[in-house]
A and B are shown apart, each in its own frame.
Chain A
Amino acid sequence: MGSKETGYTATIDGIEHEFDSIRSVLAKANERKSGDELAGLAASSSAERIAAKDIVSRLTLETLYENPVVPADEDEVTRTIRDGVCEETYAEIADWTVADLREFLLAESTDDEAIRALREGLTSEMIAAVTKLMSNLDLVVAAAKMTVVARCNSTIGTEGTVSFRLQPNDPADETENILQSVREGLSYGVGDAVIGINPVSDDAAQVKEILQATAEFIDRWDVPTQNCVLGHITTQMDAVRNGAPADLLFQSIAGTERGNREFGIDVELLDDAAELGRNLCRGDGPNVMYFETGQGAELSNDAHEGVDQLTLEARCYGLAREYDPFLVNTVVGFIGPEYLYDGKQVIRAGLEDVFMGKLHGLPMGIDACYTNHTKADQNDIENLAVLLTAAGANFFITVPMGDDVMLNYQSNSYHDGPTLRSLFGLQAAPEFEAWLEEMGITDDGRLTERAGDPTIFTQP
């Protein structure tokens, strides 16, 4: 058994396109991305791209299973993904082609339950491969079928809801400024996914101070949410061991062992963190981990192992699913134009990532964002947010007026939370929805006159 890789050819209009490995076919089958071009992995013409997609469509899932893009003996992410596969489920679909998988996911008869039954048989490479065959609307349709519910203090991902991370970053880590931004965000009804702060200083005492300030605020106003300060995982672990009140533990992850080493982590450290989180985090759980990812991270750390950025992104999700996280989001446009050049590439990558995360069974959200040297603007990420609300993304990142003055980039605005909910007839996480009504911020799901006024939280 097992088909070891040889050369792959496809003939289009009499022209033969040849690829020397599955890794190369997978890379060249991607929609155009500047990062794959920078890595020297991209298709050299539009026709070659389609030839590669044609070959991908005919690969069997067994071939992908047998040929992980980084060998298992060299990479613990590969081993983690393989160990997570249910052999019985896999055996039932091993002879499917990637085209079969695509058409299964899109069939009217395939619902959430049917996808759930298949999920454990899929490796990240299989999920990456099918993504390369999907159009943008295919990705939306298939992602929308999948419901992934996660629970900490609030419950996110239930049908008919969409949640938002409130990101009140401050360039000086001033807790009063952070809290003022929290008040602003809550008054728009965002913050049900998490109140999550990126600290300027990656220091355990600083992390603890922000955790304490946000925890006190959450307790004072009885907000059914969770807090998180997104320092390095080891910094958060130190803070929590010193009694800091954290609901979630966060870490950025990569799709290769080498990439994770660049982030200062490995599987053993994540295992320890997850255990610490279950024991010492104050969130009700059971889900207490929070991961961020993003196409291009491995290449930027010179740790891509000759693999394209979409496939590496899928492998991040393969790693993440081992830890039953409460939140996972891609930070899609943060990394710069050398990886995702413009709004079109950012939108494509955002759709791919949320689809791939959900197909892995993750409570998947997105930081739909851009930096000022990327050829994109607020309109692009508003478009992406509409598409991904249609796709049933669990949550979005939101910042005041779309402008994060600490990380110096733009994401969705606090305003986009109530806008997307009302446009799609969705509610906040159920506990949070009830709280919004109780606080008089919404009435029957609609913003009241009190909404948008942060000073409703300043009275004793």
Chain B
Amino acid sequence: MRPNNDRRSGVEDPEDEPRLERFRDSHPSRIGVGRAGSRPRTETLLEFRLDHAKARDAVTTHVSDDLVADLDLVSVRSRAESKTEFLAEPSRGRDISEETAERIREDCAMEPQVQIVVSDGLSSTAVETNVPELLPVLRDGLADRGLDVGTPIFVEYGRVDVMDAIGAELGADCCVNLVGERPGLATNESLSAYFVADPERGGATSEKSVISNIHRNGIPPVEAGAEIAAVLEELCEAERNGCDTGDP
């Protein structure tokens, strides 16, 4: 006998079909999915596998060189030499080599008020889907506020704290790092913006402020660009005032 694959919910003859559908449509988890024997139905299984496949691809693929060029980013690499090394040794993704430091000191503007960093982090997909829309809004927002913005940098195999090393080398007042978040099954496109004022190597991730959940179904990238510019203005302001008080 051929199984009935046209069911509205995954469950055959539920006691309360409308209720089941209501929950199935509104519930954040995969429920009301039914079964094939004791195993998941084919459709449910393939949906799950597709979501995981997209998450894996976000982790393992690379941000395209074309995109980095189109966005006019100076491209560098963290101390990690490969994805494998990046995943197995997180500390390598938080720093840059002396050679890279020399290069950015040559190629990038020194002592900017704001340094923009973009890092692939755990999702290249997040960078590719959000940054092209976000970055122009952010740049305009910073320009409107009269802030001096440095040369934006892309870090391959970069983690959040890599902006400490970059900011310190360039003598930036503050930094923002747009970094791909660890993908979930619900989205592989989520980006975070981390902030640090007066960057120094070795600063803790937990002490950095953050706007997370930037993606088309979360905070849309255009909106995020405007919010990030506002946060950076406040940070620069606070940094300036902090300096005025003459603290050592």
Measured CB to CB, the residues of A under 8 A from B are 34, 37-38, 168, 170-172, 177, 180-181, 184, 188, 337-338, 341, 371-373, 375, 377-378, 399-403, 405, 408, 410, 413, 415, 418-419, 422, 447, 449-456, 458-459
**B90: A residues at CB distance < 8 A:** 338
Does residue B55 face the partner (Cβ distance < 8 Å to A)?
yes
Query: Known: A372-B55, A372-B56. Is A454-B32 also a contact (CB below 8 A)?
Result: yes
- Out of B11, B12, B34, B185, which one reaches A403, CB within 8 Å? B185
- Contact check, A455 vs B16: say whether CB atoms are below 8 A apart: yes
- Contact check, A410 vs B185: say whether CB atoms are below 8 A apart: yes
Write the nearest CB–CB distance from A242 to chain B, whole angstroms.
28
- Contact check, A447 vs B38: say whether CB atoms are below 8 A apart: yes
Of the candidates B13, B35, B49, B51, the one having the most CB atoms from chain A within 10 angstroms of its own CB is: B35
Does residue B14 face the partner (Cβ distance < 8 Å to A)?
yes
Does residue B8 face the partner (Cβ distance < 8 Å to A)?
no
Does residue B2 face the partner (Cβ distance < 8 Å to A)?
no
Measured CB to CB, the residues of B under 8 A from A are 10-17, 19-20, 23, 27-35, 38-40, 44, 48-49, 51-52, 55-56, 58-59, 87-90, 122, 182-186
- Contact check, B49 vs A378: say whether CB atoms are below 8 A apart: yes
**B186: A residues at CB distance < 8 A:** 405
Other A-B pairs, 17, CB within 8 Å; known A168-B29, A372-B185, A405-B186: A372-B55, A372-B56, A377-B56, A378-B49, A378-B52, A400-B33, A402-B48, A403-B51, A408-B182, A413-B40, A415-B39, A449-B12, A451-B35, A455-B15, A455-B19, A455-B20, A459-B16
Q: Which residue of B lies closest to A452 (CB)?
A: B35
- Contact check, A454 vs B31: say whether CB atoms are below 8 A apart: yes
Complex Cα gap A454–B88 (Å)? 41
Query: Known: A378-B48, A405-B184, A410-B185. Is A373-B87 also a contact (CB below 8 A)?
Result: yes
Complex Cα gap A177–B20 (Å)? 12
Write the nearest CB–CB distance from B30 to chain A, whole angstroms.
4
- Contact check, B185 vs A338: say whether CB atoms are below 8 A apart: no
Write the nearest CB–CB distance from A15 to chain B, whole angstroms.
27
- Contact check, A180 vs B30: say whether CB atoms are below 8 A apart: no
- Contact check, A401 vs B40: say whether CB atoms are below 8 A apart: yes
**A401: B residues at CB distance < 8 A:** 29-31, 33, 40, 44, 48
Ranked nearest first, the 5 interchain pairs of A and B with the lowest CB-CB distance are A401-B30, A455-B16, A372-B55, A418-B38, A408-B184
- Contact check, A177 vs B30: say whether CB atoms are below 8 A apart: no
A-B contact pairs, 15 of them (CB 8 A): A184-B31, A372-B55, A373-B182, A373-B183, A377-B56, A401-B31, A401-B48, A403-B30, A415-B38, A419-B38, A452-B10, A452-B34, A454-B20, A455-B17, A455-B19
Q: Which residue of B lies closest to A341 (CB)?
A: B88
**A456: B residues at CB distance < 8 A:** 15
Of the candidates A38, A447, A453, the one having the most CB atoms from chain B within 10 angstroms of its own CB is: A453
- Contact check, B31 vs A181: say whether CB atoms are below 8 A apart: yes
Complex Cα gap A449–B87 (Å)? 45
Write the nearest CB–CB distance from B79 to chain A, whole angstroms.
14
**A454: B residues at CB distance < 8 A:** 11, 14, 20, 23, 31-32
**B44: A residues at CB distance < 8 A:** 401
- Contact check, A415 vs B40: say whether CB atoms are below 8 A apart: yes
- Contact check, A400 vs B40: say whether CB atoms are below 8 A apart: no
Query: Known: A401-B40, A455-B19. Is A34-B55 also a contact (CB below 8 A)?
Result: no
**A171: B residues at CB distance < 8 A:** 28
**B29: A residues at CB distance < 8 A:** 168, 170, 177, 181, 399-401, 403, 405
Q: Which residue of A lies closest to B28 (CB)?
A: A405
Complex Cα gap A371–B52 (Å)? 10
Complex Cα gap A402–B122 (Å)? 21
Complex Cα gap A429–B243 (Å)? 66
Complex Cα gap A403–B28 (Å)? 10
Complex Cα gap A341–B182 (Å)? 15
- Contact check, B19 vs A371: say whether CB atoms are below 8 A apart: no
Write the nearest CB–CB distance from A377 to chain B, whole angstroms.
6
- Contact check, A458 vs B16: say whether CB atoms are below 8 A apart: yes
Write the nearest CB–CB distance from A40 to chain B, whole angstroms.
11
Of the candidates A399, A415, A458, the one having the most CB atoms from chain B within 10 angstroms of its own CB is: A415
- Contact check, A400 vs B30: say whether CB atoms are below 8 A apart: yes
**A447: B residues at CB distance < 8 A:** 35, 38
Complex Cα gap A177–B90 (Å)? 36
**A372: B residues at CB distance < 8 A:** 52, 55-56, 58-59, 122, 182-185
- Contact check, B88 vs A180: say whether CB atoms are below 8 A apart: no
Query: Known: A400-B30, A401-B44, A403-B48. Is A373-B89 also a contact (CB below 8 A)?
Result: no
Write the nearest CB–CB distance from A451 to chain B, whole angstroms.
7
Of the candidates A177, A449, A456, the one having the most CB atoms from chain B within 10 angstroms of its own CB is: A177
Complex Cα gap A454–B11 (Å)? 9
Complex Cα gap A454–B10 (Å)? 11
**B11: A residues at CB distance < 8 A:** 452-455
